[in-house]
Structure 1
Amino acid sequence: MQFGTHVLQLDVEAETNHIVTLMRQIIQQDFRRRGAVVGLSGGIDSATVLGLAVRAFGAERVLAVMMPEKASSPVSEAYALQLAAKFGVQAIKEDLTAGLEGLGCYARQDEAVRSVFPDYDPAVDKIKLVLPGDLLERGSLNVYSLSLTGADGVEQRRVLPVAAYLQIVAASNMKQRSRMLMLYYHAEQRNYAVIGTANRNEHAQGFFVKYGDGGADIQPIQHLYKTQIYQLAHYLGVTQEIIARTPTTDTYTAECSQEEFYFRLPFEQMDLIWYGLDHDIPAADVAAALQISPQQVEHVYRDLAQKSRSTEYLRAKPLMVR
């Protein structure tokens, strides 16, 4: 059969049953935990994981925790509440703003932003980090720019010096690590397990924070491509608002899609190209399926391989020195 999008199609019922069975076995039998805690962000991944957890343990043994901070979109909380109500799951809100202020998260981030935009005013200016969006055309390096949109709606972009980039990322990573701390509080209080929400795209390409959203007791969707998560979401009954929502980072004050922040391609294209790379499919066959050139496919092959190599330390377990 000719290579095409069919290679990513799941038997959603069988896949759901497989994941649910393993979740029960690992959490109840191996870990001796009574239920599940899921950080519910209002995005497709955590929504799908919540649906799987409800299938595995029943709504009465699943807790959804929303953890906004001052840069979070209010839409995220609204969608999370709507989904929790549909699935019959208790949802609680933990606002992390005060804790992050105490840790210096915002002050450290603002300091780095002002090294690039000296007149930056966090009260009115919106910021985000973005990569070049022309991966198919040029295969350019993953060099970040800082985008600042003022009160007048005018956007400016400047390439980030290494020191400023590292400081902004280090400060914003406090958000993910604080969320994991909160999830484990609620899990330990109930003798529950923390369920991770990372998909294959995020884990293999390093789009996660070590000991932040990368830390959990079990990762039930880590083997699935993003487009396959959508297939499961439809089957599990995730609300249409979440399914239709553009995946975002929800980390910076300006709206920022995961595509412009990290992946640089729509998931429909990237997943098929990545499948081709994983299964040694010639670039010409992948290109024919997507109606692009083999050279464009090779650009993506190189980008995927480079991201995997450069983020290997994120996936490494702590090493023992003897």
Structure 2
Amino acid sequence: MSASQQHKIISALHTLSSIDINFEVARRVEFLQHSMVSAGVKKLVLGLSGGVDSTTAGKLAQMACDELNQQHGTSEYQFIAVRLPYGVQADESDAQLALDFIQPSQRLEINIEAMVKGLDIGAESFINLAKPSAHKLDFSRGNNKARARMSAQYYVASLLNGLVIGTDHGAEAITGFFTKHGDGACDIAPLFGLNKRQVRSLAGHLGAPDVLVTKTPTADLEENNPQQADEDSLGITYDQIDDYLEGKAIGIEAQEKLEQRYGQTEHKRQTPVTLYCNWDT
């Protein structure tokens, strides 16, 4: 592995070694506003999980709507925060804390448990035929949860003529640590180009509760491993990922693991495959 590969990845993901927090907040709020005005919509939709990523993206969205309303003397620009639990969410208190911090224009809750279990019922005969391992079945169901959540967000956005916000950032993008057509699907991604510690910095600057800013990230999709930390799943720490994205040297083993993941997950960062796709990394 070489420094040139690191520079190539950094360039592709548009990450920076350091940021001006005030500048980043301002330009990302402006980006959301421009996206709404260009698309001719007045609603932004995002699923709030209680993690730092959705908390930060949600706050930026509400700020964008508040400023547009002030500029145009209206209340039509709205951020719709959607809670999307599967049954009972273990960290529901964090999600409610995030909502109270953001103060979204509207709050909705759609429990996705029936959607996910409905897929299991519909595919029961195939599941019995395929006989997947317990891990494979649990992992696939986890991806179904992520896709059900995004489907629900797009349903809300369709009803309200709005845009769906995603929470993808540099640390997730490089590792491909998102569900394809699940949390990886969206209309606009206001956190893109930031690494994890920079997202935390924005959240802290915006006044998010410390418990959310410092919270251990977890996708919490697998029932056999509830609340499993992202870093345990990845086998690499966010500090190592962020250092790499800032152009710093990290251990050889960590660098090789990270660059291998980047190559293996390139399909997640691309549009559907055509004759003209180029997956070279």
> Percent identity, aligned pairs only?
29
Distance change in 2, residues 1:79/1:248 (3 Å)? same
Cross-structure match for 2:217: 247
| 1:5-16 → structure 2 map (5 Å cutoff) | 8-16=17-25
Q: Which of 23, 33, 39 is residue 41 of structure 2 equivalent to?
A: 33
**Aligned partner of 1:225 among 187, 195, 198:** 195
Shift of 1:99: 1.6
Deviations 1:114-159 (A, max 9, x none): x8xxxxxxxxxxxxxxxxxxxxxxxxxxxxxxxxxxxxxxxxxxxx
Describe the SS at the equivalent of 1:74.
coil
SS of equivalent to 2:24: helix
Cα distance in 2 for partners of 1:167, 1:95 equals: 21
Q: What amino acid is aligned across from residue 190 of structure 1 in structure 2?
A: L
Answer yes or no: is 1:317 the counterpart of 2:271.
yes
* 1:165-208 superposed Cα distances (whole Å, 9 cap, x missing partner): 54433222110110011001111111111000111111221111
Distance (whole Å) between structure 1 residues aligned to residue 222 and residue 136 of structure 2: 15
Cα distance in 1 between the residues matched to 2:84 and 2:113: 9
- Per the alignment, residue 261 of structure 1 pairs with 233
Cα offsets for 1:85-130 (capped at 9, x unmatched):
232212221111112111118997xx89xx8xxxxxxxxxxxxxxx
- Quote the RMSD (CA, aligned, Å): 2.6
- 2:242 matched to 1:271? yes
Q: Tell me the CA shift for residue 248 of structure 1.
A: 1.1
Partner amino acid, structure 2, of 1:38? L
- 8 Å Cα contact 2:146/2:182 also seen in 1: yes
| Amino acid across the alignment from 1:50 | G
Deviates more, 1:7-16 or 1:212-221: 7-16
Larger Rg: 1
Structure 2 unmatched runs, 5+: 1-15, 68-74, 277-281
Residue type of the partner of 2:113?
A: T
TM-score, length-scaled by structure 2: 0.79
What TM-score results when the alignment is normalised by the length of structure 1?
A: 0.70
Query: 1:69 is aligned with what amino acid?
Result: Y
Map 1:66-145; keep pairs closer than 5 Å: 66-70=83-87, 73-75=89-91, 77-89=92-104, 90-104=106-120
Aligned pair count reads: 245
1:37-52 alignment to 2 at 5 Å?
37-52=45-60
* Partner secondary structure for residue 319 of structure 1: coil
Contact 2:52–2:200 (Cα < 8 Å) also in 1: yes
Gaps of at least 5 residues in structure 1 are 1-6, 116-161, 288-296
CA 178–201 in structure 1, closer or farther in 2 if over 3 Å, else same: same
Gap change, CA 1:266 and 1:58, over 3 Å in 2 = same
TM-superposed deviation, 1:320: 4.3
Q: Distance in 1 between matches of 2:202 and 2:262?
A: 25
Measure, in 1, the Cα distance between the counterparts of 2:97 and 2:107. 10
Between 86-95 and 302-311, report the one with greater CA deviation.
86-95
Equivalent of 1:195 in 165, 179, 182: 165
Distance 1:261 1:299 in 2: 16
Q: Look up the SS of the partner of 2:246 in the other structure.
A: helix
Counterparts of 2:95 and 2:121 in 1: how far apart (Å)?
25
Deviation at 1:73, TM superposition (A): 3.5
